[in-house]
Chains A and B, each alone.
Chain A
Amino acid sequence: MSERLYPVTLQVNGERVEAQVSSRQTLVDFLRDSLRLTGTHVGCEHGICGACSILLDGEPVRACLMYAVQAEGCSVTTIEGLALPDGTPGPLQDAFCETHALQCGYCTPAMIIASHALLEANPDPTEAEIRDAIGGNLCRCTGYQQIVEAVQLAASKLAKGPK
Chain B
Amino acid sequence: MKPVAASASFRYIGKQRRTKEDPRFVTGRGRFVADIALPGMKHVALVTSPHASARIKAIRTETALTMEGVRYVLTGEELCANVDPLYVGVDAPKVHRYPLARDVVRYAGEWVVAVVADSRALAEDAAEKIEIDYEPTPYILDPEKAILPGALLVHPDHGSNVLFRRKFVWGPVEEDFARSEHTLSFRARWGRSATVPIETFGVAAQWHPGTQLLDVWASIQMPKFPDQTARALRLPGNAVRVHFDVDVGGSYGVKRGIKHTVLVGYLARRLGMPVRFIEDRLENMRGGDMHGPDRIFDMTVAFDADGTIRSLKIRALDDVGAYAGRSPLQLGKPVGAIVGPYRINSVEYEPISVLTNKTAQEAVRGFGQAPTNYAIETAIDRVARHLGMDRVELRKKNFIAKDQFPYLIPSGSTYDSGDYVTVLDKALDAVKFNELVATRDAARKAGRLAGIGIATCLEPSGGNSAFEPLFNPKNQTTTWMDSCLVRVDISGAITGVMNTSTSGQGHETLVSTVLGEVLERDPDSIRVVHADSLNALPSNSPVGSRMAIMLGGAAAGAAKKIKATLMAIAAHNLGVPESALEYRDGNVVPKTGAGKGLTWDRLVEIAHRNFHLLPKGMEPGLQAKFVWEVPTGGGLPTADGRIQMYPCYSFEAHLVLVEIDPLTAQPKILRYVCGHDCGTMINPSIVHGMTYGGIAHGIGAALYEKFAFSDNGQLASQTFMDYLMPSALEVPAVDIVDHCTPSPLTEFGQKGSGEAGYLGAPAAIASAINDALAPLGRSIDELPMTPLALWEKLQGGSTR
Contacts and interface: CB of A to CB of B under 8 A. Distances in A.
Given A1-B68, A38-B28, A100-B22, A139 B721 contact: no
Interface in A112-163: 112, 127, 130-132, 134-148
A148 B504 contact: no
B346 interface: no
A59 interface: no
A105 interface: yes
Given A100-B19, A132-B729, A146 B37 contact: no
Provide the main secondary structure of the chain A interface: loop
Interface residues of A, number: 63
B728 A104 contact: no
B553 interface: no
Contact of B504 (A89, A136, A141): A141
B727 interface: yes
Contact of A43 (B22, B199, B697): B199
Given A140-B697, A145-B733, A43 B28 contact: no
Interface stretch (B6-14, B90-98, B244-252, B478-486): B244-252
A103 B690 contact: yes
Given A43-B198, A78-B28, A141 B693 contact: yes
Nearest to B697: A140
Contact of B199 (A48, A79, A88, A106): A106
B171 interface: no
A102 B28 CA distance: 12
A146 B247 contact: no
B280 interface: yes
A142 B30 CA distance: 17
Interface string B1-43: 0000000000000000011011111111110101101000000
B102 interface: no
A94 B503 CA distance: 21
B706 to A, nearest CB: 16
B281 A45 contact: yes
Most chain-B Cβ atoms within 10 A of its Cβ — which of A24, A42, A87, A106?
A106
A46 B719 contact: yes
A83 interface: yes
B198 A106 contact: yes
Given A44-B281, A104-B197, A105-B249, A138 B121 contact: no
Contacts of A102: 22, 25-26, 504
B719 A48 contact: yes
A12 interface: no
Contacts of A131: 728-729
Interface stretch (B132-140, B184-192, B561-569, B681-689): B681-689
A123 B731 CA distance: 24
A41 B694 CA distance: 23
A39 interface: yes
A142 B693 contact: yes
Nearest to A106: B249
Contacts of A40: 28
B199 A100 contact: no
A114 B249 CA distance: 19
B506 interface: yes
Interface string B212-251: 0000000000000000000000000000000000011111
A141 B728 contact: no
A143 B731 contact: yes
B728 A97 contact: no
B728 A146 contact: no
Contact of A141 (B24, B121, B250, B725): B250
A134 B25 CA distance: 18
B720 interface: yes
Contact of B32 (A88, A106, A141, A146): A106
B415 interface: no
A68 interface: no
A23 to B, nearest CB: 11
B767 interface: no
B195 interface: yes
Contact of A104 (B18, B35, B247): B247
A93 B26 contact: yes
A106 B31 CA distance: 10
A121 to B, nearest CB: 17
A150 to B, nearest CB: 9
Interface in B752-783: 757
A36 interface: yes
Most chain-B Cβ atoms within 10 A of its Cβ — which of A104, A138, A142?
A104
B331 to A, nearest CB: 24
B105 to A, nearest CB: 25
A123 to B, nearest CB: 19
Most chain-A Cβ atoms within 10 A of its Cβ — which of B200, B248, B250?
B250
Given A80-B28, A97-B22, A135-B728, A143 B734 contact: yes
A107 interface: yes
A109 interface: yes
Given A43-B281, A140-B693, A134 B728 contact: yes
A66 B18 CA distance: 36
A157 to B, nearest CB: 15
A158 to B, nearest CB: 16
A57 interface: no
11 contacts: A41-B199, A43-B198, A82-B27, A89-B26, A97-B18, A104-B250, A109-B26, A135-B728, A142-B692, A143-B694, A146-B688
Given A43-B198, A93-B26, 14 more contacts: A41-B198, A79-B28, A80-B27, A96-B22, A98-B18, A100-B686, A104-B25, A104-B248, A105-B504, A109-B26, A135-B728, A138-B720, A142-B696, A145-B734
Interface of B: 18-19, 21-30, 32, 34-35, 37, 68, 121, 195-200, 247-252, 280-281, 503-506, 685-686, 688-697, 719-721, 725, 727-729, 731, 733-734, 757
What are the 6 A-B residue pairs with the smallest beta carbon separation, nearest first?
A39-B28, A105-B25, A106-B249, A104-B504, A103-B504, A143-B692
